[in-house]
Amino acid sequence: MGSEDNLIKTFASCFRLLAKLNAGMQNSFFVNLLAGESDKLLAEYVKFLKIKCTTSQVVHNARLAMSYRNNVAQCQCAIVNQIKTILNLLNILNYLNLIKLVSPLLLERELLKLQLLLLNYNRTEPLSRGIEVSNNSVIKENNYKNKNAKPVKLNVLHKQIAGFIQNKKLVQNIEVFGQFADTTRRTLKRKLSELIKASVIKKQTKGKEVYYFPHQ
């Protein structure tokens, strides 16, 4: 089963379990709260699907392709954050012993699986048939377009990190640290900052979590 089919199947499983959980609760406050958070998750997922449907329009245009990747990354981040909100709510419901019809561990497992699938979701193959953009050309193009960016001399490690983020679309800082484990975190943080200055990547934070995605 492909990553897209897996994503759809897991999302459907999560919503079946969330609906079953809500049906078994008696506390109206938490019923409405969970329903509201579930609706937000569904809305973000629908937005994600709509953006994915634009693939056929961008495969022959490098600029549109970069915008597409940026929008996908932002949607992925929003869905992941919403999953974490629901997981926190599940912990409260479980602590209060309000979960009756659904195994909290099963629902938590499916939500975490959905989160992992989103973080690893890769649309490289369909886009690469229409455009051929190397790490070097992306770096040069972004440096050229952003005249206000401070010139940064990019080395092999810069290009490897940029390529990793380009392929993954949305990367958490700990994923970068794991991928380049033979390099110190201090060095990697500096390289990431330099890639941001060169307008190759963008940074987004959510609390203590840090994410990177390709610059539009």
What is the edge-to-edge ordering of all strands in the sheet holding 201-206? 171-172, 209-214, 201-206
Q: Which residue, among 118, 134, 127, has the nearest Cα to 67 in the 3D structure?
A: 127
Q: Give every CB contact of residue 116 below 8 A, 6+ residues apart in sequence.
A: none
Lowest mean pLDDT among 53-62, 129-138, 158-167, 169-178: 129-138
Asked if the model's pLDDT at residue 16 lies above 70, the reply is yes
Locate the domains of the chain by residue range.
3-128, 135-214
| pLDDT tens digits, one per residue of 70-105 | 777 788 888 988 999 999 999 999 888 888 778 888
* Summary mean pLDDT of the chain: 78
Q: Report which secondary-structure segment, H or E, holds 23.
A: helix 3-23
CB 161 within 8 A of CB 190: no
pTM, entire model: 0.56
Q: Provide the pLDDT confidence category of residue 127 given band limits of 50, 70 and 90.
A: very low
Q: Does domain 135-214 have CATH number 1.10.10.10?
A: yes
Return the pLDDT at 123: 43
Alpha-carbon distance 133 to 117, whole Å? 25
| pLDDT tens digits, one per residue of 148-164 | 555 667 788 888 898 88
Residue type, 79: I
Q: Which residue, among 107, 131, 212, 205, has the nearest Cα to 168 in the 3D structure?
A: 212
